[in-house]
Chains A and B, each alone.
Chain A
Amino acid sequence: GNSVTQMEGPVTLSEEAFLTINCTYTATGYPSLFWYVQYPGEGLQLLLKATKADDKGSNKGFEATYRKETTSFHLEKGSVQVSDSAVYFCALISNRDDKIIFGKGTRLHILP
């Protein structure tokens, strides 16, 4: 079945450091890929998405590229801020059904 695997946290970085959170997926067909972010005490917010191979999603300085050959969708940011501290979820929707499949989440701590 469809699944998402992302790097385990917590990830702790200093402010202005470079961020990478790895995500790989297994899916039949041609899924759409997403990164969601969950700030403390809040619901999930869509951070970025990509709907086909080689698409790059970007938002708020975060980027991720849909790599079909490596079945990956790694999240990157060049310079993190304390306000980026949150839990990040990689997710997919298959084109064969309509449920979002989430990874387990990666908790990110940014130190000032």
Chain B
Amino acid sequence: NAGVTQTPKFQVLKTGQSMTLQCAQDMNHNSMYWYRQDPGMGLRLIYYSASEGTTDKGEVPNGYNVSRLNKREFSLRLESAAPSQTSVYFCASSYTLVAEAFFGQGTRLTVV
């Protein structure tokens, strides 16, 4: 059972570079999320997709864009990476917005 799969697991970027973090779930969930985790700050929501075809901003959306490619896949794009975006990024999915979410293993991103 794969659950939520994120790629890559690790990435180092130079300031100003762009990249896309990929996420796929095989649980037939309707809702998907992108969080970032910084030391001592818990998980903060960047963007979410309540259902296929919709996306909405979360708590910290600046500097990011997302695409809900289909029901399974939800990608996060950094157009011009900044050192402040150094963090661990988690993708999650849930059956509905108010159902419990299941997380991927994370992408550790460093921007130098």
Partners in one complex: no
B residues near A (Cβ < 8 Å) are none
